[in-house]
Amino acid sequence: MLRELVMELGQKQGDTYHLSKQFNYELLTNYLQVSRPTMKKIVTALSEERIQLGYRKKH
């Protein structure tokens, strides 16, 4: 589901897709209705497929 969202709304830069910063980590976690640990696994898997999310982690 997230992959399709990125492909539809993201921007391709070289061989990598980037999703806008407006889609922050919390919003995506809620949208997918998954836990934070599950979201981390999803982000890692997408990163391996050259799909980057535009959010910035809070420190």
Q: List pLDDT tens digits, range 40-52.
A: 998 898 888 887 7
Question: What is the rounded distance in angstroms from the CA atom of residue 43 to the CA atom of residue 20?
Answer: 14
Q: How far is CA 21 from CA 1, 44, in A?
A: 18, 17
Q: How many domains does the chain have?
A: 1
Residue 29 lies in a domain: yes
Question: What is the rounded distance in angstroms from the CA atom of residue 9 to the CA atom of residue 53?
Answer: 11
**Structural domain containing residue 17:** 1-49
pLDDT in tens, 12-31: 888 877 777 777 788 888 98
Output DSSP code: residue 24: -
Residue 52: CB atoms within 10 Å: 16
The DSSP result for 40-59, as a single string, is HHHHHHHHHTTEEE------
